Structure formats: structure tokens, C-alpha cells
Amino acid sequence: MQPNINVVSLVSIGRHPQSGRARRAEQDGRAVELGLTLAGQSLTVVHAGNAKEPVLRQYAGMGLPSLTVLEQSEGCDALPVLMSFLQDKSVDVVLTGVRAEGGESSGMLPYLLAEKLGWPLVPRVAEVLEIKNGEAEVLLALPRGQRRAVTVKLPFIASVDNAAQEARQTAFGPGLRADFKVLNGDSVVDEAASQWQISVAKPRPKRIKVVKAKTAADRMKAATAKPVGGGGKVLRNESSTEKAQAIFDLLIEEKVIR
């Protein structure tokens, strides 16, 4: 735990991928877990939305004495009220999930907050190693299990990756006893989102490479095998025009563009 560090974790209402029921969002839970590691009981957890949402008790049940709710009606933009709240506080670190599990789920909120506040953004954080002298050493989660340590100045916003420490189990009793601090914020209706038509996502068909196989087992293995990159081309000294043409040719070959 880092002393004298003001950490804020932003949480949202998640959706179970199978049943669609409301739940504690996976990445937001990890953001709260990381916040508890950094700040302990002094962690501030903030939600913009309905204060009567039962799912918020699941976050409080992680050992939080209180939770702050910026009261908003459904369909309002969370960005203005969150920005106003953070500007009024002396915040050092803001932790969010990479993206929400409901609504737009675009993952743009941390980027927009960082732009409005003029703070640096550190994406896909796995761990905060150390905070001292106004700087933080942060471990980033890279593809294939790789990690990269970077240094960033306070204050900053970090989106927490699935590679971060898994959120602890929630306890019903402490969650029920936690104090909710409800603040009335300025509700700004998201005009663009109000005109959208939301439908259930359909899985994209998987391209199956047709191979000659003697048995059904061989055909099944070929159909379910993951594609392996067989070639490639490294462009180092070529001009920008030649590099762009190589990328364009690859997109046409893979039928990404026609």
C-alpha cells in the first residue's frame, strides 16, 4: 500500500456474457482490487448512474466502507459528471476497466477523460509496481503474456487489463452495511446514443480451410485448428509509399477490403 496516495476507481454495471444478468464487471472489479492494493481503505470508488442498483453492493462487499454514486438517469453521458467530480478532488491515480460490459462498450471513456483533464493515460495495466517522488512505475500487459514497465507522472488515468490481480470475492454482509454517498450531478443526455438501434451481436462465420483428409478425425482437426502465420515481409529501408502499398496489398489478399 502506498501512503498519502489518493486513488479513485471507476465502476460500472456489468453483464454476464451468457445470461445477460447484471453483475460486477470483471475488469472494473480488478480496478477496485488494484485500488485497494494501492490505497487500502482510503480508496474512493465512484459510479455514475442509479444509486439503487443492487449490483453496486457487490463492489462494496469487497471491503469498502463507502461508495460514491453520482446520481444520473438512464441514457445520460457519464463523461461530464465524472470530469467535474475528478476536477474538484486532488486525485493522483484514476483506475478504470478497459471497457464496459454494457451500453456502448467502446472503451473510450478513459481516453476522453484523460483528454479533457489533460492527464496521461496508461492503457492495459497489469500492476502498479511503485509510486514515489510524483511518479509511478507501471507494468503493462502485452500480447502473449509479455510485460513492459513504464514510468508515468502523477496524476494519471490507467485502464486495468484482465492480466491484473483477480478481484476478491464479495461478501454480502459488508456490502449491505457499506455507506453510499449519493451526489446529484449534472445530467447530460447523450443525444447520439439515444438515436441508436441496439441489437444482439451475431458471431462472424469462421473461414475454414478446405484440406484433403482421409478420416473424419483429420477433417475435424483441420477445421478447428488455429491458423498459423506462414509467411511475412519485413520492410525497414523502403519508402513510406512502398510500405503503404504492401499493407494495402495484404488487406486485399486477406479480403479485408475489396
pTM: 0.75
- Among the ranges given (72-76, 112-116, 169-173, 185-189), the one the predictor scored with the smallest mean pLDDT: 185-189
Burial class (CB in 10 A: 0-12, 13-18, 19+), 185: middle
Output the pLDDT for position 2: 65
Each residue of 88-125: pLDDT tens digit? Answer: 888 999 999 999 998 788 899 999 999 999 999 999 99
Burial 33-60 (b: 16+ CB within 10 A, else e): bbbbbbbeeebbbbbbbebeeebbbbbb
Taking residues 44-72, what's their average pLDDT?
A: 94
Taking residues 65-83, what's their average pLDDT?
A: 89
CA atoms within 13 A on the CB side of 33: 23
Spell out the domain ranges in the chain.
7-194
Mean pLDDT value across the chain: 88
Among 3.40.630.10, 1.10.260.40, 3.40.50.620, 3.90.700.10, what is the CATH number of 7-194?
3.40.50.620
- Reported as a pLDDT band with limits 50, 70 and 90, residue 44 is very high
Contacts of 3 (CB under 8 A, 6+ apart): none
Closest-CA residue to 28 (of 3, 2, 55): 55
